[in-house]
Amino acid sequence: MSTIALALIPRAVALNLAIGAIVAALKLPVYLDSIGTVLVAALAGPLAGVLTGVTSNLVLGMLSSPTFIAFIPVTAVIGATAGFASRVGVFRSIPRAIAAGVVIGILAGVTSVPIVLALFGGVTAGGTGIITIILRALDLPLASAALISSISVDILDKVLSCIIVTVVLARLPRRIGARFGLPHPA
């Protein structure tokens, strides 16, 4: 990995944690806390994406709550998926970015379900858990309820993250973009 990619990862980890201030000011119903992971994956590939995801949750585990450490596989999957997606050029147009967001959201949801089932009995205290309980009330099996609630929350979050990353990449200063091998925009 190049020194600049290595130096970018800590900024992206910090972005994952700091974007909360903007989300809170706008009162948006999402977290966007993987936006830095997606950004690094798009700029520097899957390995850098995975490292960003893993480091983010380690740091969150240290600064916020140890629970985040259990979800390291989820952020690693997000980083890897976004990195491979960027290799086929998904961050070059908004429609493709939306598609990538859906795929990343589904994979993130699928990865988190076994963790939620094994460690939390299928329900985490919060918005996602409330959806799970509502789905259980509709007689859905626990695993399906957990999967659907987790995916529905993740998709919105990852789609918005992917759209923002796509716009940011298009507007990145040429000099910086060139350092990450981005083509010069016309």
Partner 1 sequence: MIPVLRADLSIVAYGDRTALRDIRLEISPGEIVGITGPVGAGKTTLALACAGLLGHAIPARIEGKIQHASLAPPLAGYVFDDPLAQFTGLGGTVEEEVAVGPENLAVPREAIRARVDRALAAADATHLAARPPDELSGGERQRVALACALALEAPLLVLDEPTAQLDPDATQRFGERLRVLAEHGTGVVLVSQDLDLLRALATRVLVLADGTARVSGHPAAVLEASEHADAVTTDTARSTPLFEARQLVAAYADRVVLDSLTLDVADGSAMAILGENGAGKTTLARVIMGLVPVREGSIIVGGRPLDGLPVHRRARHVGLVFQDPARQLFARTVLEEVAFGSRVLGAPARQAYDKAREALEAVDLTELEGVNPGDLAPQTQRLVAIAAAMASEPPVLILDEPTAGQDDEGKRRIAAAIVRQRKRGCAMVITHDLPFARRVCDHAVLLSNGRAASRVIRSAGHS
Partner 2 sequence: MIDRLRRINPLTALAAVVLLITLTYVVPAPWGPLVALTVALLAAAMTGVARRVVIIAAAVAVPTWFFLVVMNALVAPQGATVNAGGIPIATGAFLPAAWISLRLGAAIAALGWVVMTTSPQRLVRALAQRGFPAWSQYLLAASLAAVPEARRRAREVLDAQRCRGLAVGGGPVARLRATLPLAGPLMVSLVADAERRALALDARAFDARGARTSLIDVADPNEERLLRALMWGLSITLLVWGLVQ
From the list partner 1, partner 2, none, partner contacted by residue 132 (C-beta under 5 to 8 A by kind): partner 2
From the list partner 1, partner 2, none, partner contacted by residue 183 (C-beta under 5 to 8 A by kind): none
From the list partner 2, partner 1, none, partner contacted by residue 186 (C-beta under 5 to 8 A by kind): none
Our measurement of the distance from residue 123's CA atom to the centroid of its chain's CA atoms, rounded to an integer in Å, reads 20
Rank residues 7 and 138 by Cβ distance to partner 1 and give the closer one. Answer: 7
The string of DSSP codes covering 54-81 is HHHHHHHHHHT-THHHHTHHHHHHHHHH
For 26, the token pair is 């706008």
Rank residues 66 and 173 by Cβ distance to partner 1 and give the closer one. Answer: 173
In the stretch 155-184, what mask flags binding to partner 1 with x, by CB under 8 A?
Answer: ---------------xxxxxxx-xx-----
From the list partner 2, partner 1, none, partner contacted by residue 14 (C-beta under 5 to 8 A by kind): partner 2
Q: Which of 33, 47, 126 has its CA nearest to residue 86?
A: 47
Distance between the two ends of the chain, CA-based, in angstroms?
A: 28
Vertex 48: Cα angle to 104 and 186 (nearest 5): 80
CB atoms within 10 A of CB 92: 15
Residues at the site binding partner 2, with contacts judged by CB under 8 A = 1-4, 6-15, 17-19, 21-22, 25-28, 32, 35-36, 39, 43, 51, 55-56, 58-59, 61-63, 65-67, 69, 119-125, 129, 132-133, 136-137, 139, 160, 164-165, 167-168, 171-173, 176, 179
